[in-house]
Each structure stands twice: as C-alpha cells, then as structure tokens.
Amino acid sequence: MSMVAIAVLALLALCLICGAILGFAAVRFRVEGDPIAEQINALLPQTQCGQCGYPGCKPYAEAIAGGDKINKCPPGGESTIQALADLLDVEPEPLDAVEGEVPPRVAYIREAECIGCTKCIQACPVDAIVGAAKQMHTVIVSECTGCDLCVEPCPVDCIDMIELGSNLQSWKWDQPLAPGQLIASDREQAA
C-alpha cells in the first residue's frame, strides 16, 4: 500500500514540477503575435487587392492561420498556393477565382481625362498614386501592385489596367523540355 502511495506521490510531484516549468516557460518565452500568420503573410504577394474577400493580405493570412482555404489569392497564383500548401502541409487546391491567374498588371491613368477627384488616391492601398484635388493624378509604376482597387472608384473611368508584359529586365530563359519528351522534340524537328 505504501509502495502505491509513494508511486502516486512521486508521479504527482513530477507532474507538479513539469507543470510549473511549462507554466513558467509559457510566460517567460511568450511569443507575441501569431507566428504562423506572419509566415503565411510573408508568402502572400502583398498586393492588398482584397480579391480574397479580406481587407488586405495580412487579414487573409490570419484567416488562413485560422483555417480558411489557401486558394483565394489570384495575384499569387499557383505558386503561392503551392508555397502555402508546403508551409501548412495541406493539399494544394486549384485557384478559386473568376478570371483565374492574371498576368502582372499596373494601373494607368489616362491623364487627359482625369478630373482630379482624388478618389483613386484614397483607394490605393500602397500610396502608388500621386496627385492632388483638381490636379491630374498619375500612377508610380514601380510602386503599383496591380490590385485594381483604384479602377472602381474613378468617376470618369480613366484608369486602365495594363499588362506589364516582358521587357529586357524581366525576360528570362524558358526551361527546356524535359529530356525524353521525344514526341515534342520530334515535332519541333519536323517543322
């Protein structure tokens, strides 16, 4: 009987000590914020376009950390979904968007038509539009994320979304066909 009591007491003491250590660690080494949400946020393209249904990339990152689907980011496309799937160890899903993946674009203001209402400036999440009331506005291309949030508020519809396309700086080599894909190569040769 005393043996059982000793064992129970020993285990109890062990539990209490471990619990105290864990409790102390939880307080002492407390992690501020949600590290997973931060990691997810780092993978998102930060266009702040709101196409996911959240007001910006960070809220979506927090929503994903809270269990939302990972396929709601059209600007990020498949690569972002893949990266999120790797990070969260879930199955990648096809992109959930009306238009599917869109190529990178930037906003362009037809300056002759701009009336200087500043509505687009207020809509831009990254301050990429310069201008003042009753002055012509224009887009700083290098800062534009192509979120198209400025298109909707424009009262005179003078904002276009222009595809960036390929230039000498962004051009890159294509990956060759994987070896052994003879049929494609044969077709190439026959041509």
Partner 1 sequence: MTSLNVWDIHGGIHPPERKALSNRTPVRQVPLPARLVLPLAQHLGAPAEPCVTPGEQVLKGQVIAEASGFVSAPLHAPTSGTVSFIGPQPYPHISGIPAPAIVIESDGLDQWIELQPRTDYRELPPSELLEIIRQAGVSGLGGAGFPTAVKLTAPPTQAIHTLIINGTECEPYITADDLLMREKAAELVAGIEILEHLIKPQQVLIGIEDNKPEAIAAVRAAVGERPYVVKVFPTKYPSGGEKQLIQILTGEEVPSGGLPADIGMLCQNVGTCVAIHDAVLLGRPLISRITTLTGEALAEPMNVEALIGTPVAELLAFAGLDSSKLNRLIMGGPMMGFTLPSLDVPLIKTTNCLLASTRAELPPPPPALPCIRCGECAEVCPASLLPQQLHFFALGQEHEQLKAYNLFDCIECGACAYVCPSSIPLVQYYRAAKGEIRALEQKQQKAEHSRQRFEIRQERLRRAEEQKEADRQARAERAARAKEAQAQAGTTPSQDDPVARVQAQKVGLSDEQKKLKIEASMAQVALKKAEKQLSAHATPELEAQVAELRIAASNAQKALDEANAAAPPVEATAAPANDEAAKKAKIEAAMLRAQVRKLEKLETRDTEQQAELTRLQAQLASAEQALANAQQSAPPAKKPVADEALKKAKIELAMKRAELKKAEKAGADEAELNKLRDGLVSAEQALHTAEENSAKPAPELVRTEKRPIDEQARALKTEVAFARADLRKLERATDSDTAAIEAARQRLSDAEHQLQKHTDS
33 binds partner 1 (CB under 8 A): no
- From candidates 52, 56, 60, 109, binder to partner 1 by CB under 8 A: 56
Q: Does 77 bind partner 1 (CB under 8 A)?
A: no
Among 2, 29, 127, 191, binds partner 1 (CB under 8 A): 127
Place of tokens 């009306």: 98
**DSSP letter for each residue of the chain:** -HHHHHHHHHHHHHHHHHHHHHHHHHHHTPPPS-HHHHHHHHHS------TTSSSSHHHHHHHHHTT--S---TTTHHHHHHHHHHHHT--------SS-S---EEEEE-TTT-----HHHHH-TT--EE--TTS--EE-TTT-----TTTTT-TT--EEEEE----TTT--PPPPPPTT-HHHHHHHHH-
Indicate which single residue of 12, 20, 156, 182 sits in contact with partner 1 (rule: CB under 8 A). Answer: 182
Stretch that binds partner 1, among 5-13, 91-99, 111-119, 121-129 (CB under 8 A): 121-129
Which of 28, 174, 190, 191 is in the footprint of partner 1 by CB under 8 A? 174
Q: Residue 185, interface with partner 1 (CB under 8 A)?
A: yes
Would you count residue 173 as binding partner 1 (CB under 8 A)? Answer: yes
The answer for residues whose C-beta is within 8 angstroms of residue 133's C-beta and 6 or more apart is 116, 117, 118
Give the per-residue contact string, 144-163, with partner 1 (x = CB under 8 A; - = no).
-x------------------
> What is the closest distance, in whole angstroms, from the C-beta atom of residue 21 to partner 1 in the complex?
36
Least distance from C-beta 181 to partner 1, angstroms? 8
Site of interaction with partner 1 (CB under 8 A):
41, 44-48, 56-58, 79, 125-128, 143, 145, 166-168, 170-180, 182, 185-186, 189
